[in-house]
Amino acid sequence: MSFKSALESGKFTVTAEVGPPKGTDIKKILHEAGMLKGKVDALNVTDNQSAVMRINSMSFCKLLLDMGQEPILQMTCRDRNRIGLQSDLLGASILGIKNVLCMTGDHPNAGDHKEAKPVYDIESVQLLQVVDGLNNGRDLMGNDLQGATDYYQGAVVTPEANPIEPQMMKFEKKVKAGAKFFQTQAIYDIDKFKVFMSDARKFPVKILAGLVLLKSAGMANFMNKFVPGITVPQELIDELKAAGKEKALDKGIDIMARHIRQLKDENICDGVHIMAIGAEDKVPAIMERAGLL
């Protein structure tokens, strides 16, 4: 079943994030992607994430297609102007890529080429409009296309943004601009997430809860301090600490599996997006413990 049909059919959908490496050696990532075959509904391929230069998303999406896996093409507005973005969207379409996740993208300041000129000719809301246009056979300027695209397009939202009101207004703009599914920033507090979902459910879109694998108490503290829009509750940090250094990762897997179970059993959202950040080989274990395999 395709990612789109999975979501639209009401199946609890699972995607996992894969970040192409910096350099041409792709043995490890191909192996990890292979391990997820038949387990997740789609693999979400990052676009120079954190503004660190790597293999582009499109090439890796194509490799996944060749392996018989379904990719979601992440597309940020940081590195390409409106001509480049549209051209890549057409290009990805003829390669058979069906899903696109539209994002603004981290500023170059966060990455390893801090002196780069940021583009941001258009941004996430406008990129969604562009995809909608291409799907309807016209480009941003209203010119007719010789053959339209057929994308299932999504966007991101940060349920724990502070302040939340402008974030929700932007969420609404993204829905209006054509977003069909949303992947959230990492969430750890299911009760707070329920409050967000009661708002988000008013819109005809599918929501995948973003889950980042906690590997240690230190990592949780680091995210609380430095990653905007992510809050790891103290109880979880204590749980990781109590598990001890050796067992912390295992505990992190437990925590994520527990969250997935709750999200699914209580029918809180439409699926999850798993970000294992370097521990992609643990995704099957997470899914198993969550009762998804």
Partner 1 sequence: MIITKKRDFKDLMENLRNYKSFFLIGCSECASLCGTGGEPELAAMKEALEAEGKTVTGTLLPKTGCQTLGTKIELKKDKEACAKAEAIIVMSCGAGTQSAVEIFPDKPVFPSNDSLFLGNMTRFQMFDERCSLCGKCVLDKTGGICPVTACPKGLLNGPCGGTDNGKCEVSPDIECAWVRIYERMKKTDQLEDFKKVLEPKDWSASRKPATLNTRDKKEEKK
Residues near partner 1 (CB under 8 A): 82, 104, 106-107, 109-110, 118, 120-126, 129, 140, 156-158, 161-163, 165-167, 169-170, 172-173, 176-177, 185, 228-229
* Least distance (Å) between residue 124 CB and partner 1: 8
Q: Which long-range contacts (CB under 8 A, 24 or more apart) does 239-248 make?
A: 240/214, 240/216, 241/217, 245/216, 248/214, 248/215, 248/216, 248/217
Which regions of 19-77 does DSSP assign to beta strands (E)? 42-45, 71-76
Residues in the chain: 293
Of the pair 99, 126, the CB lying nearest partner 1 is at 126
**Least CB distance to partner 1 at residue 262 (A):** 24
Considering beta carbons, is residue 157 or 232 the nearer one to partner 1?
Answer: 157
Based on CB atoms, which residue is closest to partner 1, 56 or 224? 224
User: Which CB contacts under 8 angstroms, 24+ apart, belong to 84-87?
Assistant: 85/121, 85/122, 85/127, 85/130, 86/130, 86/134, 86/139, 86/140
Between 64 and 155, name the residue whose CB sits nearer to partner 1.
155
Of residues 223 and 249, the one with the C-beta less far from partner 1: 223
Q: Which is nearer to partner 1, 156 or 286 (CB)?
A: 156
Nearest distance from C-beta of residue 58 to partner 1, angstroms:
22
DSSP character at residue 144: B
- Smallest distance, partner 1 to C-beta of residue 278, A: 21
Torsion angle of the four alpha carbons 147, 148, 150, 155, in this order, in degrees rounded to the nearest 10? 150
Q: Helices 57-66 and 27-35 meet at what angle, rounded to 10?
A: 50
User: Inter-axis angle of helices 234-265 and 217-226, to 10 degrees?
Assistant: 90
Give the integer Cα–Cα distance in Å for 259 and 257: 5
Could you tell me if 165 and 139 are in contact, meaning their C-beta atoms sit under 8 angstroms apart?
A: no
Which of these, 133, 124, 125, 189, lies nearest to 159 by C-alpha position?
189
Tokens for 264? 């699914």
Q: How far is the CB of 114 from partner 1 (least distance, A)?
A: 10
Minimum CB–partner distance for residue 76 and partner 1 (Å): 10
To partner 1, the closest distance from the beta carbon of 228 in angstroms equals: 3
126 or 149, CB closer to partner 1?
Answer: 126
